[in-house]
Amino acid sequence: DTAVSQTPKYLVTQMGNDKSIKCEQNLGHDTMYWYKQDSKKFLKIMFSYNNKELIINETVPNRFSPKSPDKAHLNLHINSLELGDSAVYFCASSPPGAYGYTFGSGTRLTVV
């Protein structure tokens, strides 16, 4: 069983569209995250979320919004997609204390 799974693996869409990326973890972890990896491979956290609190990186545009239907899922919704949103998006999770993180395999988003 995949510990952190995200779908789709590839997503190609036009500018202005709204899209979602789904993430599920079966590790029983309390905290989930979304990271963005740009074309230069640089990784930056976008959001962290546990069942009590959402922490937003202040540099993330408000077109991006995480949605968590339950503890095991953290989906990423993106409105009005722009060319600059093209990147690889990684979901991750961690247990309490955050001494370990498990990553999904990534979603490569291409905006054309």
Partner 1 sequence: GNSVTQMEGPVTLSEEAFLTINCTYTATGYPSLFWYVQYPGEGLQLLLKATKADDKGSNKGFEATYRKETTSFHLEKGSVQVSDSAVYFCALSDHSGGGADGLTFGKGTHLIIQP
Binding residues for partner 1, rule CB under 8 A, total: 27
Name the minimum Å distance from CB 112 to partner 1: 20
Q: How far apart are CA 75 and CA 51, in angstroms?
A: 14
Q: Which of 33, 74, 78, 87 binds partner 1 (CB under 8 A)?
A: 33
Q: Is 89 in the site for partner 1 (CB under 8 A)?
A: no
Q: How far apart are CA 26 and CA 60, in angstroms?
A: 27
Tokens of 44: 């930056």
**42: β partners:** none
Q: Which of 55, 63, 67, 80 binds partner 1 (CB under 8 A)?
A: 55
* Burial of residue 66 (number of CB atoms within 10 Å: 0-12, 13-18, 19+): buried
Nearer to partner 1, 33 or 75 (CB): 33
Nearer to partner 1, 24 or 80 (CB): 24
Q: Which of 1, 14, 28, 40 binds partner 1 (CB under 8 A)?
A: 40
Alpha carbons within 13 A on the beta-carbon side of 79: 6
Helix (H) / strand (E) element for 22: namely strand 19-25
Contact residues for partner 1 (CB under 8 A)?
Answer: 31, 33, 35, 40-45, 48, 50, 53, 55, 90, 92, 94, 96-106
